[in-house]
Structure 1
Amino acid sequence: MAEQWREQRLHTQRIYTGRAVALDVDRIRLPNGRETTREIVRHPGSVVIIPVLDEERVLLIRQFRYAVGEVLWEFPAGTLDRAAESAEACAHRELEEETGYRAGRLIRLGEFFTAPGFTDERMHVFQAEDLRPAAQQLDSDELIEVVPLTWESVYEKVRAGEIRDGKTLAALYLYALRRRA
């Protein structure tokens, strides 16, 4: 990173700690010498998984997202456990919990920051292959519908604006780049 852009943290105040995130208010010094605050959501990291059934089909899930008040089309995803869980272990766990499938093979497609203006969350993207049925094990607060779709119908849903979840769109992009390579 260019040093002339670096902001210096002077003080951190933790104002909230929850199950999955914490909220810090940092007092910082800008490169021009002025001071200001940044509100940062601290996140342990997350995964999104593209469960490929075969050349023609993929699994998506539908679930209600309270923050936006809508049912969304998404790829399965989840948060890394704070106990130093690896991204790959989290991907295996979340895939089985949310879809009821186990992956014989995971391929790492990349990673991205979800919203670097206010959170340090890093999302890891995996493609899951050689899927075999297992037991879906939803968390007590989850209600998820697992839907097999053709790739063409997935891309049509994107074009029609029906898939609006950012992590799912980013994962589709990384998947498409890998297929072109």
Structure 2
Amino acid sequence: MNRHAPGQDDRIVYRGRKIDLALRPVTLADGSTTEREVVLHRGAVALLPLLDGDRVCLIRNRRHAIHKSLLEIPAGTIDPGEPPDACAHRELREETGYVAGRIALLTEWWVSPGLFTERMYLFRCDDLRPGKARLEPDEEIEPVEVPWDHAVSMALDGRIEDAKSMLAILYWDRVRRVAST
């Protein structure tokens, strides 16, 4: 099933560029029915662009919803009909300018399953070649290369505040530490 597509009984109350908002009928344990608000989302990719010398390419990203710039891993919404790995290649180039020789899916998760249908796919990006970023007109993004251990410290001490970035950095740090033992 297309995760962005509404369920057969959903009532769409808003259609947007990246999300739709639906009221979904739900039958409760006592047999009564109610409606839940559900944000329909196509899904997204999150990227760990790993550079030689044990560094990672993060981005400083202006987030208008919270009126703040955050240090994050690159990420983006999957276009209709686009496979997640193709989106990963596209978003890496758009946001950082880098082109990856290899991209591998590490894991995936539900972003906020109490409200969103969004599934996020985390990709490791290796063998990076520099190029020119291709930002969307409304994006304010600056690539920032960070030593890996520094990125882990920032995820742990609150300097990285974005959940997908904290999860991705700490997940990959754990995987690589287990693999080296």
Q: TM-score, normalised by structure 2?
A: 0.90
Give, as a single letter, the amino acid of the residue that structure 1 aligns with 2:130: P
Pair 1:14 & 2:45 matched: no
Rounded to whole Å, the distance in 1 between the matches of 2:99 and 2:87 is: 12
List aligned pairs for 1:29-178, cutoff 5 A.
Answer: 29-82=27-80, 84-178=81-175
**CA deviation vs aligned residue, 1:57-87 (integer Å, no higher than 9, x gap):** 11000011111221101000000001x1000
DSSP 3-state at the match of 2:9: strand
Deviation at 1:177, TM superposition (A): 3.3
Which amino acid is the alignment partner of residue 107 of structure 1?
Answer: A
Q: Deviations over 1:111-145 (max 9, x none)?
A: 00011110010000000000001221000001111
The one-letter code matched in structure 1 to 2:100 is A
Segments of structure 1 that go 5 or more residues without pairing to the other structure are 1-8
Distance between the aligned counterparts of 2:107 and 2:150, measured in 1? Answer: 24
CA positional deviation for 1:27 = 1.7
Gaps of 5+ in 2: 1-6
Deviation, 1:32, is 2.5
Instruction: List 4+ stretches of structure 1 deviating above 4 A.
Output: none
